[in-house]
Amino acid sequence: ARRHALVRRAVAVENIGRITCICTDKTGTLTEGRLQLAHVLPTDGVAVARLLHAAAGASGPDLGDPVDAAIVARAGAVGTVATFPFNETRRRQVGLIDGSNGRRAVMKGAPETVMACCALGPDDATALSARLSRLAAEGHKVLACAERPVDADATAEPDDGFTFLGFLAFEDPLRAGVADAVAAARRLGIRVIMLTGDHPATAVAIAAELGLGDDHPSVREGDAVIADDAPLPDVIARCLPSQKLALVQRLQAQGEITAVTGDGINDVPALRAADVGIAMGERGTRAARDAGAIVLLDDNFSTLVGAIAEGRQLFANLRASFAFLLIVHIPLVLTAALLPLAGEPLPYLPMVIVLLELAIHPLALLAFQQASAEGKGAPATRGTRIFDRVHIAWLLAAGLVTTAAVSVGWLLNVDASVGQARATVAGLLLALAVGSAAGLSGLRGALARRAIAAVAVGGFGMLGWAPGAALLEVDALGMTAIPSMAAMLLGAAGLGIAMRRSRPARG
């Protein structure tokens, strides 16, 4: 939650690090979601006030939609007799309003939809389409408005006979840092597909600003994408929430591990079908938040990319931690089993094993807490395992080599004293733990360095002949210097004392 991402299902922590494709909404996720009415563009002979009045009359009464809020902030509220709301299929909103000239039906919506309801000649339609394309290419969200008179007692929505009034062009700034987040996703090997209900030209302009598709994004409309099996473009314009499910299923059939964002009730099927459903916390409906495995508390795409990087690093940390445990335990288990089979005494007494584990397991926990590093982490495949064949072969080879080294350490010391041999192999295992932890963690992070240093001091102390013991004058964590405790805890006959007695007397 401190990073503005709330995980609702534990499996999402694993899956998010394996994501290969993100299907993200534009408005409110890539952009700020605060639309501003930038341009009011009436047609010839239509006053700006008339266009704004019609737009306000076709706006919702609760102003929950940012488009409606921007219009009413500019034009003021207009009372309506009846309202026929916008939805993704109709792509228009109509209101019935009363005025000095009688009752009128006013409409605003997608330009293509509004123009289809108007009586336009071929030349007018061509000119308006060209103007629309120019506005959309500048990255504006463009709506069109129209009106027509109706009977004084009319309550039904008319479908045609409207007079075209003009365009409204809105601006929705990109969120700060979102272009960098898109670039970071690309470096992580993640494809980003932008879904929007906007005009294709508007969508391409925004996508190019974000850096999608190497600054030359491909775009298709949602209906066309669903109708065939062609490769998915970088941008899907005029995309309906109901089409998200089909897009997610197609990506999964291609082997992609998908994340999809959503905020509405219509997004729920896609959120549930995706490998990781990402619900919006600020503007999302309760149904969407309940369906999402992760909730973005700030609705920010940058937060999502950061969560993916964290998930990948978590996987990498777990892999390193498990590798460390295996590298240390393979020689421990093999020498404990094979040396007695060869007729040697038990190399480890129970208390020695307890002491070793008290050092090894904290190292596994503390030394592998690396912060997220861009580009590191889980390979992006659905069947990824924590260890593949190469890792397993490497771990087995390392385990056999270290087993041989520990066995040699035992054989070189057992003739002198069984206690000395036991202390030696215990110290060798601790030295192996310290070296493995340092190598696998790269000594990144103060916590890792402190944990490794603490175990190193104890390990070198247990190895009475190691540099740490010479410097610190402590043996086996300060316990082998007392023969009775050494015998109880390590089964060693005071290795440090024995070694000091063997040194020449100081004059």
CB 29 within 8 A of CB 22: no
160 and 191 both lie in a single domain? no
245 and 358 both lie in a single domain? no
Q: Assign residue 119 the CATH number of its domain.
A: 3.40.1110.10
DSSP string, 401-438: HHHHHHHHHHHHHHTT-HHHHHHHHHHHHHHHHHHHHH
293 and 318 both lie in a single domain? no
Q: Is residue 304 part of a domain?
A: no
- pLDDT for 497 equals 37
Q: Is residue 156 part of a domain?
A: yes
Residue 32 token pair: 């700020």
Q: Assign residue 247 the CATH number of its domain.
A: 3.40.50.1000
157 and 240 both lie in a single domain? no
Q: Is residue 241 part of a domain?
A: yes
- pLDDT for 247 equals 93
Amino acid at 430: L
- pLDDT for 191 equals 92
CB 192 within 8 A of CB 185: yes
- pLDDT for 430 equals 80
207 and 293 both lie in a single domain? yes
156 and 178 both lie in a single domain? no
Q: Is residue 305 part of a domain?
A: no
Cα(337)–Cα(334) distance, integer angstroms: 5
Q: What are the distances in angstroms from CA 97 to CA 40, 77, 81, 101, 154?
A: 21, 12, 6, 10, 10
Q: Is residue 483 part of a domain?
A: yes
Crossing angle (nearest 10°) for helices 178-187 and 301-341:
30
- pLDDT for 468 equals 34
- pLDDT for 448 equals 61
Domain boundary among 144, 171, 198: 171
- pLDDT for 493 equals 42
Q: Is residue 343 part of a domain?
A: yes
163 and 281 both lie in a single domain? no
C-beta neighbour count of 38 within 10 angstroms: 15
Name the DSSP letter for residue 335: H
Cα(296)–Cα(22) distance, integer angstroms: 14
186 and 84 both lie in a single domain? no
pTM to 2 decimal places: 0.73
β-strand pairing of 82-84 with 21-25: unpaired
Cα(388)–Cα(365) distance, integer angstroms: 22
Q: Is residue 507 part of a domain?
A: no
273 and 349 both lie in a single domain? no
Counting the structural domains of the chain, the total is 3
- pLDDT for 467 equals 38
351 and 458 both lie in a single domain? yes
Domain boundary among 250, 269, 299: 299
- Nearest 5°: phi and psi at 379? -60, 145
CA angle 145, 48, 63 (to 5 degrees): 55
Across the chain, which has 507 residues, the per-10-residue mean pLDDT values are 74 82 90 90 94 92 79 90 86 92 94 94 93 92 95 90 96 90 89 92 92 87 90 92 90 92 88 92 86 88 85 82 89 92 88 82 74 51 72 89 90 83 82 78 64 62 42 36 41 40 38
Domain boundary among 254, 270, 299: 299
Q: Backbone dihedral region of 404: left (phi > 0), alpha (psi from -120 to 50 degrees) or beta?
A: alpha
26 and 42 both lie in a single domain? no
Domain that holds residue 194: 5-32+174-299
Q: Is residue 188 part of a domain?
A: yes
57 and 21 both lie in a single domain? no
pLDDT in tens, 282-317: 888 889 899 999 998 888 888 888 888 888 888 888
